[in-house]
Amino acid sequence: MSWFEKPAEAPASAPAETVWAVCPSCKAYIATKTWQDAGKVCPRCNYHARLSGRERIAVLTDAGSFKEFNSAIGVNDPLGFKDASGSYADKAKAAAAKTGAGEAVLTGTAKICKIEVVLAVMDFKFLGGSLGSGTGERILLAAEKAVALKRPLIIVSASGGARMHEGIVSLMQMAKTCAAIARLKEAGLPYISILTDPTTGGVSASYAMVGDLNIAEPKALIGFAGRRVIEQTIKQKLPDDFQTAEYTLSHGFLDHIVPRKELKNFVAKILRYAGF
């Protein structure tokens, strides 16, 4: 057998991890360990890449302190929804397999710089972080848990908006979650809303914007309808920075923009000021 006919041999072992990560914004090559240690923030352009729910919890909370609850609450399919790409039920199963979660939000108790909180973290990888009935129920129960334990509630949003597969049932979650947060405020407990890239649609129009403190990461996309829809409706060209966290802050809809590496200590500082 000549050399060019000999089948290629498989490597003795596969590499444990990719050596380089590529910044989605400036396309710079960054050592994977550096990228992970920086919380997926580019050291060159300061681009804040999207995090999964589990990654976000690791960045924001004390190691090992997160204790998940209500993980059994999953996707509801009241319409038996199907479209050309398949059934809603199958898409939900695929999303659960990809993320390791049964819904677009993870809820639990946790500690932030030793301060006990109730935490809800959305994951954009689960059907675009969309707000379905299961998502709303988990957030409702998280707010009720915060009231029962007399702890602050923190919600980290990352969502494309309401989940179309559930129709009006999804839209009802906007009022449901806001009502739950209203009860929290009646109990005199703080609610901190953290808006990450992206926070749009029915989520931005409900619980994401009603925090006692609304903070965002740099350059996060924050808005309701998309740029193209708005431009076609009003027949005007929108500013280049429209719907960025910086634009939203300058127009009074945010209280602060906090870089990811400072977020944990910033939240802890606010909670200590509130007496926790």
pLDDT of residue 178: 97
CB 158 within 8 A of CB 50: yes
DSSP secondary structure, the chain, as one string: --GGGSPPPPPSS--SS-SEEE-TTT--EEEHHHHHHTTSB-TTT--B----HHHHHHHHS-TT--EE--TT-----TT--EETTEEHHHHHHHHHHHHS-SSSEEEEEEEETTEEEEEEEE-TTTGGG-B-HHHHHHHHHHHHHHHHHT--EEEEEEE--B-GGGTHHHHHHHHHHHHHHHHHHHTT--EEEEEEEEE-HHHHTTGGG--SEEEE-TT-BB-SS-HHHHHHHHTSPPPTTTTBHHHHHHTTS-SEE--HHHHHHHHHHHHHHTT-
| Per-residue pLDDT at 123 exceeds 80 | yes
Average pLDDT on 7-21 reads 61
Rounded to whole angstroms, how far apart are CA atoms 98 and 94? 6
| Per-residue pLDDT at 9 exceeds 70 | no
pLDDT of residue 18: 76
Which two tokens mark 251?
């127009």
Q: What is the pTM of this model?
A: 0.91
Rounded to whole angstroms, how far apart are CA atoms 194 and 214? 6
Average pLDDT on 89-101 reads 96
pLDDT digits (tens, 9 = 90+) for 165-222: 999 999 999 999 999 999 999 999 999 999 999 999 999 999 999 999 999 999 999 9
SS3 for 119-133 is EEEECCCCHHHCECH
Calculate helix-pair angle for 133-149, 168-186, nearest 10 degrees. Answer: 10
Q: Percentage of the chain surpassing pLDDT 90?
A: 93
The sign one gets for the Cα dihedral 81, 206, 244, 51 is negative
- Mean of the per-residue pLDDT values for the chain? 93
Which two tokens mark 201?
């649609």
Type of residue numbered 126: F
Domains of the chain: 13-49 (no CATH), 50-273 (3.90.226.10)
